[in-house]
Amino acid sequence: MHSPYGLEISDSCTTCRVRSEGYFCNLDERMIASFEALKYATVFPKGAVLFVEGQSPRGVFMLCAGRVKLTTCSSDGKALIARIAEGGEVLGMSAAVSGRPYMVTAETLVPCQVNFIKREDFLGFLKENGAACLRVAEHLSNNYHSAVEQSRSLGLSHSASEKLAKLMLEWCAKNGKETDKGISLKMTLTHEEIAQLIGASRETVTRLLGDFKAKGLISVKGSTLIICNKPALIAMVSS
């Protein structure tokens, strides 16, 4: 079945369960069936807001397919992208468990297939299933370590060029494909969104991308980014 946004949807949501709720899939069949009955499957278009920073938690969002940017804003309205969530991640879990407001705003970057579970239903499921609680604790622990690592990576960088080089190397590790011209990546973020990821201005990112191209470190054709000189990027972040 296909959504109005061109996204293929599994009627049984089996694919979603394997990708987005993998840490629940090893539970016994009774608990899995109980968990499945709580979900609401939805397809969101690009630019849809799943939840807003400061909003009381309504539940958890299990991202089956697509990409979502998680953004936080300062009091003067300056935005910083905390990270980009990929298919297979669970969003809003910390707020749902703690009862505290969402700490970020979640907005879809592409059409996304999402399973939603109401907070009261999710907490009720956890109270009845100790094994599921352990999975949630592991998930929250992993999120904490990832947040600390990102803060260390960006906070200890000395310049915007070093931060951009680190970001490109992370993209290489996650989604890069080796070609005869270098490592190929799909660059789906705007210059503004890249700036929000590394804590710089859009103008700085545009200038740095131009510098990287002039030095032969990268090449850009449409939405395709080629890392032509990965060792040079590594040297930038190691100096």
Q: Where in the chain are the domains?
A: 14-155, 160-238
pLDDT band at 75 (very low <50, low <70, confident <90, very high): confident
CATH of domain 14-155: 2.60.120.10
Tell me whether residue 83 is exposed, middle or buried, using C-beta atoms within 10 angstroms of its C-beta: 0 to 12, 13 to 18, 19 or more. middle
CA–CA separation, 41 and 116 (whole Å)? 6
Higher pLDDT, 90 or 5: 90
Answer whether residue 19 shows pLDDT above 50. Answer: no
pLDDT band at 237 (very low <50, low <70, confident <90, very high): confident
Q: Which CATH class is domain 160-238?
A: mainly alpha
Q: How high is the pLDDT of residue 34?
A: 82
pLDDT band at 22 (very low <50, low <70, confident <90, very high): low
Q: What is the pLDDT of residues 38-50, one digit of tens each?
A: 899 999 999 999 9
Q: Which of 133, 115, 114, 134 is closest to 124 using CA atoms?
A: 133
Name the average pLDDT for the chain.
84
Asked if 60 and 122 touch (Cβ cutoff 8 Å), the reply is: yes
Q: How high is the pLDDT of residue 168?
A: 93
Asked if 175 and 186 touch (Cβ cutoff 8 Å), the reply is: yes
Region 163-182 average pLDDT? 90
% the chain with pLDDT above 90:
49
Q: How high is the pLDDT of residue 21?
A: 45
Region 47-61 average pLDDT? 96
Region 60-84 average pLDDT? 87
Asked if 233 and 168 touch (Cβ cutoff 8 Å), the reply is: yes
Answer whether residue 112 shows pLDDT above 90. Answer: yes
pLDDT band at 13 (very low <50, low <70, confident <90, very high): very low
Measured between alpha carbons, how far apart are the two ends of the chain, in Å? 51
Answer whether residue 169 shows pLDDT above 50. Answer: yes
Asked if 196 and 81 touch (Cβ cutoff 8 Å), the reply is: yes
